[in-house]
């Protein structure tokens, strides 16, 4: 059996999309002959993606064999060295499931859910980057799907990941949570926003919290991250210490925001808050940040 060293460590299986265990074999996939040999393997498995929907077979993602001359993105090798690929399906069939629902239900094993996140983000990137952003000419897939090359101007394009900071801010008054109008009634969550070019993670977090709530944040520490394949975000989970506690909500970003004390948060966690307030389920990183900030297991 071949030795590979890039296998990620298993982490927090209840956190949706974070359990990917595939070995991406990044050193090998630059070699077209190696990728072709993986594709020709009788064990090769293809996951078809249409938008954010996939076929399932019982509690597993459904796969099929590669078809001749179809364009495939190499995902990696599983623990038995089975090569996995992703393909774009033109349409989802009636029975196909969307990735959010699969994550909420938790029926698909965490490693497969993580693989789906990788597949969905990559397929989406190829669909939307068929032409060179520099000169407009059609680009060609390379490196098993981790690069698109423009032969006209020589530019290489690489799959993007969009970092988003998500932060639970705490003070003596409790944890700062906000809600957006479109959310389910009573739902409150951590504040979040896309990072901007030239920003550090810490500065992005301080900016977002100040914009949305007028709270200043001092110390920040990193807790965990979560791939969020809609289409290609990476949630960077943080806890920050508030330097003041008077909230002014930005009505463009949030419907409301407030401090929640520990007793209230425990009621929300047990889904028995008298006003029906709640926070996201354990498939979402906000859930784990709130528990971490409360020092709950
Ligand atoms: Zn070009």
- 128 CA from centroid of ligand 1 (Å): 15
- Given a contact cutoff of 8 angstroms between Cβ atoms, the answer to whether 276 and 186 are in contact is yes
CATH number of domain containing 277: 3.90.79.10
Question: By three-state DSSP, how is residue 193 classified?
Answer: strand
**Residue 14 contacts by C-beta under 8 Å, 6 or more apart in sequence?**
106, 110, 282, 283
- Shared-domain flag, residues 45 and 137: no
- Shared-domain flag, residues 269 and 217: yes
- 145 CA from centroid of ligand 1 (Å): 17
Number of domains in the chain: 3
**Residue 158 contacts by C-beta under 8 Å, 6 or more apart in sequence?**
146, 147
- Shared-domain flag, residues 190 and 228: yes
- 290 CA from centroid of ligand 1 (Å): 46
- Shared-domain flag, residues 230 and 119: no
- Shared-domain flag, residues 87 and 44: yes
Last residue of a domain, one of 160, 179, 202: 160
Query: How far apart, in whole angstroms, are the C-alpha atoms of residue 127 and residue 149?
Result: 14
Query: How far apart, in whole angstroms, are the C-alpha atoms of residue 80 and residue 235?
Result: 30
DSSP state of 297: -
Last residue of a domain, one of 112, 127, 142: 127
- Shared-domain flag, residues 12 and 58: yes
Query: How far apart, in whole angstroms, are the C-alpha atoms of residue 281 and residue 14?
Result: 10
- 119 CA from centroid of ligand 1 (Å): 25
Question: Predicted confidence band at 297 (pLDDT cuts at 50, 70, 90)?
Answer: confident
Which pLDDT value is given to residue 13?
Answer: 53
Question: Predicted confidence band at 216 (pLDDT cuts at 50, 70, 90)?
Answer: very high
Which pLDDT value is given to residue 111?
Answer: 95
pLDDT 10s digits, 63-78: 999 999 999 999 999 9
- Shared-domain flag, residues 205 and 233: yes
- Shared-domain flag, residues 170 and 287: yes
Percent of the chain's residues with pLDDT above 90: 93
- 135 CA from centroid of ligand 1 (Å): 4
- 149 CA from centroid of ligand 1 (Å): 8
pLDDT 10s digits, 37-49: 999 999 999 999 9
Q: In a 10 Å sphere around its CB, with 0-12 CB exposed, 13-18 middle and 19+ buried, how is residue 95 labelled?
A: exposed
Alpha-carbon radius of gyration of the chain: 21
- Shared-domain flag, residues 48 and 140: no
Domain of 7 in residue numbering reads as 1-127
- Shared-domain flag, residues 117 and 136: no
Which pLDDT value is given to residue 14?
Answer: 80
- Shared-domain flag, residues 289 and 167: yes
- 38 CA from centroid of ligand 1 (Å): 30
- Shared-domain flag, residues 226 and 214: yes
Vertex 98: Cα angle to 97 and 99 (nearest 5): 120
- 23 CA from centroid of ligand 1 (Å): 31
Q: What is the DSSP string of 232-277?
A: TEEEEEEEEEES-------TTT-SEEEEE-HHHHHHHHTT--TT--
């Amino acid at each position: 059996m071949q030795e590979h060293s890039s296998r990620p460590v298993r982490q927090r299986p209840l956190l949706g999309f974070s359990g990917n265990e595939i070995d991406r074999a990044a050193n090998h996939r630059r070699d077209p002959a190696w990728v072709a040999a993986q594709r020709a393997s009788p064990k090769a498995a293809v996951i078809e993606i249409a938008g954010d929907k996939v076929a399932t077979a019982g509690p597993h993602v459904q796969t099929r064999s590669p078809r001749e001359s179809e364009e495939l993105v190499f995902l990696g090798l599983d623990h038995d060295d089975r090569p996995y690929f992703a393909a774009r399906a033109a349409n989802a069939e009636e029975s196909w499931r969307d990735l959010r629902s699969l994550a909420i239900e938790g029926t698909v094993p965490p490693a497969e859910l993580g693989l789906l996140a990788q597949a969905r983000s990559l397929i989406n990137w190829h669909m939307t980057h068929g032409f060179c952003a520099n000169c407009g000419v059609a680009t060609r897939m390379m490196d098993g799907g981790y690069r698109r090359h423009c032969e006209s101007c020589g530019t290489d394009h690489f799959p993007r990941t969009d970092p988003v900071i998500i932060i639970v801010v705490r003070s003596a008054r409790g944890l700062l949570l906000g809600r957006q109008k479109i959310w389910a009634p009573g739902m409150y969550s951590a504040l979040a926003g896309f990072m901007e070019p030239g920003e550090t993670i810490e500065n992005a977090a301080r900016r977002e919290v100040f914009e949305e709530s007028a709270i200043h944040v001092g110390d920040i520490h990193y807790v965990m991250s979560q791939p969020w394949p809609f289409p290609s975000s990476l949630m960077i989970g943080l806890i920050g210490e508030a330097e003041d506690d008077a909230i002014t909500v930005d009505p463009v970003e949030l419907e409301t925001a407030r401090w929640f004390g520990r007793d209230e948060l425990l009621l929300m966690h047990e889904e028995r808050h008298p006003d029906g307030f709640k926070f996201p389920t354990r498939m979402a990183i906000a859930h784990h940040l709130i528990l971490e900030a409360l020092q709950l297991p």
